[in-house]
Amino acid sequence: MKIFSCDETRTALPFSRLIPALENMFNSDCSVPQRHIHAVGTNENPLTTLIMPAWSEAGLMGIKTVNIAPNNAKKSLPGLFSTYTLYDMATGEPVALVDGNEITSRRTAAASALAASFLARPNSSKLTLLGAGRVGGLIPYAYREVLPIDEVLVWDVNPLATERLIAQLNQDGIAARAATDLAQAVGWADVVSCATLSTEPLVKGDWLKPGSHLDLIGSFTPEMREADNSAIINASLFIDTPEALEKSGDLLQPLSTGALDPRSVIGTLEDLCRRKCRIRQSDREHTVFKAVGTALEDLAAASLVYQG
């Protein structure tokens, strides 16, 4: 069995390769059962474990185990840890152990950028990023593969995380600065991307400027929210998979009150990739992409690492 370190996994997954690999996998025959979700922590130290399998016609099966600990920020630790095992479908033999944290963060950012390639205005150049963690820090790099992003505003509950990411982006030639006023930062942006673990809405629909694209990739439990109702119900809504309607508080909470009709969802990321639904129709249209992640994306990334 091959073992791929964090650095080896990262090197094998540049966004220039990963984004097309995701689109190809969404266009292939891939089986993705619903994930298992287990609350295994305590009220004082909540811990959620996800088990996410997938297999494809290419003959590989993968299983990712993810542990999410929201309180880790207080301990200066990432909020998510994961492992990924790849198997040969013909024999069941494990063929690779791949760094799950790198796969999760990079495929999440890549899927976000893939959706934006269909839903954001093609001339979008201003990005406001909420969340400067492992996933959020990759968003500007992924988006620059599909959009002409040249300015980034960064906001995070942790000012040190904001400063670190801004310094890294500027060092890499991406003009970045801190968002001192969240409402103004959201209203300034062509694209607003949220990669947080917030349980309260951070983005209000009234703040968004006409024609902007709102990307919500942080919330994955019923208790989590990154945007208020108006940001979602007054926009053209797209989701990564139908599971988003069952997992994310951004959708479940307005669904529970009748503020959101599930029939208002225009399409999934698979629909977009297969051209089975419409994309952005005008420069003034508000679009929203809500993602909770799918094991299909993990399998695409792990296969890319394994096959080289």
115-160: per-residue pLDDT in tens? 999 999 999 999 999 999 999 999 999 999 999 999 999 999 999 9
Mean pLDDT confidence for 51-74 = 92
Cα–Cα separations (whole angstroms), residue 216 to 6, 225, 254:
26, 9, 15
Residue spans in the chain of domains classed CATH 3.40.50.720: 112-294
Q: Are 232 and 257 in contact (CB under 8 A)?
A: no
What homologous superfamily is domain 2-103+296-307 in, according to CATH? ornithine cyclodeaminase, domain 1 (3.30.1780.10)
Beta bridge partners of 89: none
Please give the pLDDT value at position 101.
92
Kindly report the backbone phi and psi dihedral angles of residue 216, in degrees, each rounded to the nearest multiple of 5, phi listed first: -120, 105
Residues 6+ apart with CB under 8 A from 75: none
At the fourth CATH level, which superfamily is domain 112-294? NAD(P)-binding Rossmann-like Domain (3.40.50.720)
* The pLDDT value given to residue 139: 98
First to last CA, the chain: 15
pLDDT for res 62: 98
Mind giving me the DSSP string for 37-89?
EEE-S-SSS--EEEEEEEEETTSEEEEEEEEE-GGGGGGT--SEEEEEEEEET
For 216-265, how does the pLDDT look when each residue is reduced to its tens digit (9 = 90+)? 999 888 999 999 999 999 999 999 999 999 989 999 999 999 999 999 99
Angle at 174 between CA 170 and CA 176, to 5 degrees: 65
